[in-house]
A and B are shown apart, each in its own frame.
Chain A
Amino acid sequence: MSGLFGSLSVALSGLSVSQQEMETTSNNVANANTPGYTREVSDVTAGDPVEMGSLSIGTGVVLQKIESLRDPMLQIQINQATQQNSSLNASLTQLQQIQTQFASDTSGIGADISNFFNSLQQLSPDPSDLTLRQGVLTAADTLATDFNNAAQSLQTQRSNVDQNVVQSVSQVNSLTSQIASVDQQISALQGVNQDPGTLVDTQNNLIQQLSALVDVQVIPTDQGITLATSNGTTLVSGSQSFALTTQGIDGVQHIFSGTEDISSSLTGGSLAGLIQIRDQEIPSIGTSLDQLAAGLATNLNAANAKGLDLENPPVQGGNIFATPPAGGVGAAATLTVSMTDPSLIAASSDGTTGSNGNLANLSAVANQDVANGQTPIDAYSTLVGQVGSTTSNTSADADASNAILQQLQDQNGSVSGVSLDEEASNLIQYQSAYQAAARVVSTVNLLLLDAVNLGMDAAEE
C-alpha cells in the first residue's frame, strides 16, 4: 500500500509504538525502587518494506517485544557470593557472642585459675590459718562457678542456634514452594511465547533470598528450572518443590531431605554457618573447657590426697572438687567444689598443723599438664587465642565477602538498574517521536482534504 493512506498507516505505527515505549519507560520509572526489578527496554524494528517495482517502501515501525535486561552469569555469581556471605556473617555473629566470654584477662576462668593458685600461695606461710584456708575454697568456688557459667552460656547459645536452624529450614521450604509456583507461571507464559519479564525478576529475587539460607545451584531445564544444593539434594524441580524436614538427633535438629541427613553437607548460606557453629565451634570450645575443668579437678584432688588435713588426728586429704565425669564430658558444666570445711585442705605433709609440705604438691598443679599436654593457664590462654583468631579470620573473610557481593551487585545494577536520567532522556525522545508522528497524521489529513475537495476552493475564489 502506498500513497497518502500508506503514509497515514506508517504514522499510526509510529504513534502506537511511541506510546508503548512511553509505557515501558513509565513502568521503569514506577519500579525504580522495586527490589529485584530489572529495567525493561522496547525492542523496535522497522516494518518489512513493500517492494514496488524497483522501489522498496517502508511500512513503519514494529514493536517486537519488551525485554528485561539482565545478565544471567552475574545472577549466578551473585547467588554464589550471597551463599558464602550469609554463611560467614551467620558464623561471625555467633562467634562474636562466644568471644565475649573470653574477653577479659583480669576476670573469668583465666583469672580464676591464677587467683586459685594465688590463694594456695597465700596459705603457704601460715598453713593452719582458717581464714586463708577459706580463701582457697572461695577461690575454688569462683573458678567452678565461672566454668559452669561458661559451659551454660555456650549450651544456651547452641540451643538458640539450633532453633535458628529450624526456622531457617522452614524459610527454605516456604521459598522453594514460592519459587516452584512462580516457575509454573513462567512456563505457562513461555508456552504461549510471552515474555515472563517481571515473573523472572520475582523468581530471581526469591532464589537470591534462598541463597542467603542455603547453597543452591540453578540448573535451567526444558521444564523450568531445577534448584539443587551442592551435594545434589533437589529442592525445586520445575513446578514441584521438595520440603526439607528437621529431626532431633543427640539434642540438636538435623536437616533431612527425604531420609537423607544433609546437615553436614551444606556448604553455603546461613544454614551452613549456623550448623558449623552449632556442630563444630561450640562443641570444640566446650570440649576444651571440659578437658581443662576435668584436668584441674582430677590433678588437684590427687594432690590433696597426698597430704594430711587439719583434723585431730589428721586424715589423708579428700576431694576438693566432685570427681569429674568419666572422659571429662560435661566436666565444665558440672564442676563443683565438694569440700565445704576449710580444715579438710590437706596442706600438711607430716600430719602437723604447721606443715605446708603438701601445699607444694597442690601448687605444682599450676605447672602440670592438665589438658592437651598444657598447664592450666596455658590451656586457657590457647583457647582464648583460638577463639580470637577464629573470630578474627571469619570477620576478615566476611569483610572480603561483603565487598565482593557489593561489587557484583554494583555490576548487576549497571546492567539492570533503572536510571531515572536515562528514562527521562528516553521520554523526551519518545515524546518527540510521538509529536512528529502526530504532525505527519495531521499533515496527511490536510493533504487528504485537499485531495477530496480537489479544485473546489480555487473555484470559489
Chain B
Amino acid sequence: MRVNPNPMPDLMAALNQTELEEQQAELQISTGKSVNEPSDNPTAAALLVENNDQATFNSGYLQSISAVQGQLSTASSTLSSATTALQQALSLGVEAGGGTLSASDQAAIANQLQGIQSQLVSLANTTYEGNYIFAGTKTSTTPYVLDSNSPDGVDYVGNTHVNEVSIGNGYKLAVNVPGSQLFSAPGNDVFLAINNLIQAVQTNTGIGTAVNAVSAASSYLSAQTVLYGNATDQTQSETTYLNAAQLQISQQQNTLGGANMAAAATNLSQAQTDNQAALAAISKLSQDNLFNYLT
C-alpha cells in the first residue's frame, strides 16, 4: 500500500500533544493541584466546592467557640465570686445570730452585709465585651438596679431569653443563663435572702431563718456553675472534633484535587522525552529523498 508521503501534519500533531502534556504536568507541579479547572475532574471540582464550604463552616464554628468560651468563663468565675461573697455573708450572719454582740457590732455587721449586697449586684451586672451577661438578651441594659422598695432590694430589668450559638452542623449551644434564673430565681432568690438577712441583723430578729435562706441560696447558686462548666466542656470536645474534621477535610481536599508530585514529575519527563523525539523526527524529515541521490 502506498504510504502518505507527507507525515508532517502527523508529526505536528504529535508535537502539539507532547507540548500539551508538558504544560499539564508543569501546571500540576507549579500549583500542586491536579484539578486546576473543572474539566480536569468535574466530580472532584464539584466536591471541592462542598469541601471548601464545610471547611469554612468548621473554621467559623471554631471562631464562634473561642468567642463563646470567653463569655462562659467570665460567667462561671462571676458565679464563683458570688458564691464566695455569700459564704462571707453566711459567716457574718452566724456571728450576728450568736446573741453575744453589742448593738453597735450588729450594726457594723449589717453594714458589711450591705457591702456584700452591692458586691453581689455588681457581680450580677458583669459585662463581657460591653454586654451584660446575666440580662437575658437585654444585654445593653444593666439588669439589676437597687430598689429599697422591692422586697429583695433590687429590680431585675433583664429578660428571660436565652441565646443559642451553633458550634457544629445542627449543634446549638445555649450561651447565657438569664439573671432571673441565677440570682433571683423564685425560691432561691439570692438578693431576697441577703436583704432579709440585713433586715434581720438590723432588727435582731429572725436571724437564724435568714441565715438558713442565705445558705440555701448560696448552694443553689453554686450548683448553677455546673451549667457553665457543662457548656465549656461541650465547646472543648467540639473543638477537638472540629479540628479533627478540618484535618480530614484537608486530607480529602488533597485526595480530590492535590497533584501526585511523583506522577506529575514522571509525566513531565516522559512528555519532554516524547517532545524531543517528535522534534528530532521533524528535523530529520524531508532532508532525504531520492532526488538527493540523483547525479
Taking Cβ atoms with an 8 Å cutoff, the residues of A that contact B are: 95-96, 99-100, 102-103, 105-106, 110-111, 113-115, 117-118, 121-122, 124-129, 348, 350, 352-357, 360, 363, 377-378, 380-382, 384-389, 391-392, 395, 402, 406, 409-411, 413-415, 417-422, 424-425, 427-428
Contact = CB atoms under 8 A, between A and B. Distances in A.
A381 B3 CA distance: 50
Given A355-B137, A388-B42, A103 B289 contact: no
A110 B163 CA distance: 29
Contact of B68 (A103, A125, A410): A125
B151 interface: no
Nearest to B51: A105
B165 interface: yes
B138 A352 contact: yes
A395 B61 CA distance: 41
Interface string B34-73: 0011111111011111111100110111011001100100
Given A353-B137, A384-B46, 13 more contacts: A102-B38, A114-B53, A125-B175, A353-B140, A356-B165, A377-B49, A385-B38, A387-B38, A391-B42, A392-B40, A414-B4, A419-B5, A420-B291
Given A352-B161, A357-B161, A385-B43, A413 B6 contact: yes
B131 interface: yes
Contacts of B164: 356, 360
A360 B165 CA distance: 8
Given A406-B9, A420-B289, A352 B159 contact: yes
Nearest to B4: A413
A128 B1 CA distance: 85
A116 B291 CA distance: 74
A122 B71 CA distance: 15
11 contacts: A105-B257, A118-B60, A121-B61, A350-B159, A354-B135, A392-B41, A411-B4, A414-B2, A419-B5, A424-B289, A428-B294
Contacts, number: 189
A387 B38 CA distance: 7
* Chain B: number of interface residues, binned into ranges: 35 or more
B158 to A, nearest CB: 9
B230 interface: no
Given A420-B291, A424-B294, A99 B52 contact: no
B46 A421 contact: no
A126 B139 CA distance: 10
Interface in B279-295: 289-291, 294
Contacts of B129: 126, 129
A129 B163 CA distance: 15
Contacts of A391: 37-39, 42
A114 B163 contact: no
Contacts of A127: 163
Contact of B5 (A122, A388, A418): A418
Contact of B289 (A353, A354, A421): A421
A187 B138 CA distance: 96
Contact of B47 (A95, A102, A381, A427): A381
Contacts of A380: 49
Contacts of A121: 57, 60-61, 63-64, 166
Given A356-B165, A414-B4, A377 B37 contact: no
A414 B43 CA distance: 43
Contact of A354 (B49, B67, B140): B140
Contact of B13 (A124, A378, A406, A424): A406
Contact of A105 (B10, B45, B132, B163): B45
Contact of A392 (B42, B59, B132): B42
Nearest to B8: A33
B289 A126 contact: no
Pairs A-B, 9 closest by C-beta atoms:
A388-B38, A354-B139, A388-B42, A385-B46, A413-B4, A419-B5, A424-B290, A391-B39, A355-B137
Contacts of B42: 384-389, 391-392
B45 A352 contact: no
Nearest to B176: A354
A420 B41 CA distance: 46
Interface in B155-178: 159, 161, 163-166, 172, 175
Given A353-B140, A415-B2, A388 B39 contact: yes
Contacts of B38: 99, 102-103, 384-385, 387-389, 391-392
Contacts of B43: 385, 389
B46 A128 contact: no
B136 interface: yes
Contact of B46 (A122, A350, A381): A381
A389 B38 CA distance: 7
A422 B63 CA distance: 79
Interface in B103-137: 129, 131-132, 135-137
Nearest to B253: A105
Contact of A118 (B56, B139, B163, B172): B56
Q: Among B129, B137, B175, which residue has the most Cβ atoms of chain A within 10 A?
A: B137
A7 to B, nearest CB: 30
Nearest to A348: B137
Given A122-B60, A381-B46, A424-B294, A392 B140 contact: no
A313 B215 CA distance: 42
Contact of A410 (B4, B50, B53, B289): B4
A406 B11 CA distance: 11
A419 B49 CA distance: 56
Contacts of A417: 4-6
Which of B39, B71, B132, B290 has most chain A Cβ within 10 Å?
Answer: B39
Given A105-B48, A354-B139, A422 B60 contact: no
Nearest to B38: A388
A26 B56 CA distance: 73
A113 B172 CA distance: 21
Contacts of A354: 131-132, 135-140, 163
Given A354-B139, A355-B137, A417-B6, A122 B289 contact: no
A381 B10 contact: no
Nearest to A391: B39
A397 to B, nearest CB: 12
Nearest to B59: A118
Interface centre among A95, A384, A395, A427 (most CB of B within 10 A): A384
Nearest to A113: B53
